[in-house]
Amino acid sequence: MTISADFVPTLARWGVPSERVHVIENWAPLDELPDRPRDNAWAREHGLVGRQVLLYSGTLGLKHDPDLLLQLARRLSRREEVRVVVISEGLGADWLRERAGGLHNLVQLPFQPYERLPDVLASGDVLLVILEPDAGIYSVPSKVLSYYCARRALLAAIPGENLAARLLRASGGGMVVEPADAEGFAKAAAQLLDDGERRAELGTRARAYAERTFDLRLIGDRFESVLLSVA
């Protein structure tokens, strides 16, 4: 089994016939990620109430270019109300911290407890996704699925052919720019921050996609069907 049909050609090159490959896309636990109010305890603790927040939560590894987040903060630094919040740890987060001196609008935090994730995601006005161009053929950012549950607009700088990009376009839950387009990433972020109605519309579509798609009973039935077919 694989999480994307994009991986089938690679499996074929490894000698796995396509008719023996079953695709079951990933999902997020909808019941553990209720949509929460923008003004919540976590947002208040971190001074984010009354701000406009672009939020990234997740790993910053070899598949991600932290410079996109740095450039985003720099390009929007004149907007006093905007904060770019990055919740991550490791090499990418360290790289970002070393180069973010003087940027008042870039807020870096360590990974947060899982039970606080609904409030964390709800604290963003726009939720960010990034993925390097050469990672598009073998990676599907799972954070997108959690983001869908939060009823927030998504902004993704990811390859257009990636499954996550295709899902965003199909669901209408967010905007997609190419990962090398730092200027377009910042421009799209500014457009979303300036248009509350559009953010709300995208967030509603994202949540609707999650409610429509992340049905554990139906997903479980698909797994059971595949397992029974090979038993």
Question: Which residue range is the domain that position 15 belongs to?
Answer: 1-27+214-231
Mean pLDDT of 4-30: 68
**DSSP label at residue 23:** B
pLDDT confidence tier of residue 102, bands split at 50, 70 and 90: confident
The confidence score (pLDDT) of residue 136 equals 46
**pLDDT score of 105 more than 80:** yes
Residues 172 and 121 in one domain: yes
Is pLDDT above 80 for 46? yes
Model pTM score: 0.88
d(CA 78, CA 159): 29
Whose structure tokens read 């006093």? 80
Same domain for 127 and 89, yes or no, is yes
- Which pLDDT score is estimated for 23? 65
Do 89 and 2 fall within a single domain? no
From residue 79, alpha-carbon distances to 56, 66, 106, 107, 146 in Å are 18, 21, 12, 15, 28
Whether residues 12 and 117 fall in one domain: no
- The SS3 assignment for 40 reads coil
How far apart CA 7 and CA 226 sit, in angstroms, is 18
Residue partners of 193: CB distance under 8 A and separation at least 6 = 52, 54, 79, 82, 125, 126, 199
Q: Are residues 19 and 42 in the same domain?
A: no
What average pLDDT does this structure show over 179-199? 97
Structural domain count of the chain: 2
**What pLDDT is stored for residue 179 in this prediction?**
92
Q: What one-letter code names the amino acid at 50?
A: G
